[in-house]
Amino acid sequence: MSLDSYVTLGQSGLRVSPFTLGTMTFGEDFGWGSSPEVSADILAAYLDRGGNSIDTANIYTAGHSERIIGDYFAAHPGVRDGVVLATKFFGNLRPGDPNGGGVGRKGIMQQLENSLRRLRTDYIDLYWVHNFDPRVPIEETLRTLDDLVTAGKIRYVGLSDLPGWKVAEAAVTAKFRSWVPITALQLEYSLLERTIEGELVPAAQALGMGIMPWSPLKNGFLSGKYSSANPATQTRGAIDYFRPPTDAQYVVIDAVNEIAAEIGVSAAAVALSWAQHRPGITSTIIGARTLEQFTANITGLDVVLSDEHRERLDQVSKPKLNFPAEVNQYSSRLQYGGMTVDGVRAEPHQVASLAARAGSGR
């Protein structure tokens, strides 16, 4: 597979590369990103390989990520229209202004205009809701986005990091009102974070939305740099999300490293290949702080895991899902009477066996 083996995003006419370039690392403003020069080199390398999907957000490096991308487009006329450019809104970059962020009409329109200015473009291809405010009616957010599509300012709409119930509400509301539909979900997903399989992946599949995983290497923990014998010792940032792996997570990390050694590729390539080929996934977001990291990550497109390797990874990383996902996995045994339906063989539940012996089916 290559970056120019494009895939259709959800139920839309939008085609994107199987790996999307994430740009949260563009800019050194937070103390750990890439310089503008290195960021431009990574962007150029991605585009040169046929990549066409770029993801950013208004709050990435406090707007600097968007400016770096915009400066690149300005220096390379004609490139912009061949790119699927995505950014996000929600984060407030205006201290003291309660309407500077969020999902209300005033905040959305202000954030969009500022992103357009930083990106040096007239429109956004895919505009992501970066989170949600339970105090703002979903109708206000969706109607505003529909108006922006009508105005030609944005082309498609996606939801990032929303809970399953809010995704369903947004999708159904947009459809009922004949507003612009929800094209895709952007969600954290990796061998170390699979809980979206309980609600969000089935919701996306049922409602016709593509999924773009972010942090498929889980903060670099699946990059091959770490193992139970060489653990991470530092926490990046002040929130629990960036804490070092647990003992249970090191079991998964070690399995990834072992499989990578067996087939002669990087651990990152194994983890990225696994994520990209999971049910419901359209395009996996990859990031890099250096050109070397980018080159290493791109090799994940060339890795085809064997059934045995995939099964090992599936089992060692099997998540504990929220109710009712764990219970509902046995629903076929309750309803199919022990028969094969849609290619799925369902062993009869003990209730059916007891009923048959009691003659209740007659």
Catalytic residue numbers?
Answer: 60
> How far apart are alpha carbons 296 and 340 in whole angstroms?
43
Dihedral angle over CA of 246, 252, 255, 261, nearest 10: -80
Query: Within 195-321, where are the H helices?
Result: 200-207, 247-263, 267-276, 291-298, 307-316
Task: Decide: helix, strand or coil at residue 182.
Answer: strand
> How far apart are alpha carbons 287 and 272 in whole angstroms?
11
> How far apart are alpha carbons 334 and 118 in whole angstroms?
56
Residue 30, CA atoms < 13 Å, CB-side half-sphere: 18
Query: How, if at all, do strands 344-345 and 340-341 pair?
Result: antiparallel
CA 331 vs CA 37, 136, 279, 327, 344: distances in Å:
54, 36, 20, 8, 12
For residue 145, give the nearest of 153, 134, 136 by alpha carbon.
153
For residues 138 and 145, is the Cβ–Cβ distance under 8 A?
no
CA 332 remoteness from chain centre: 30
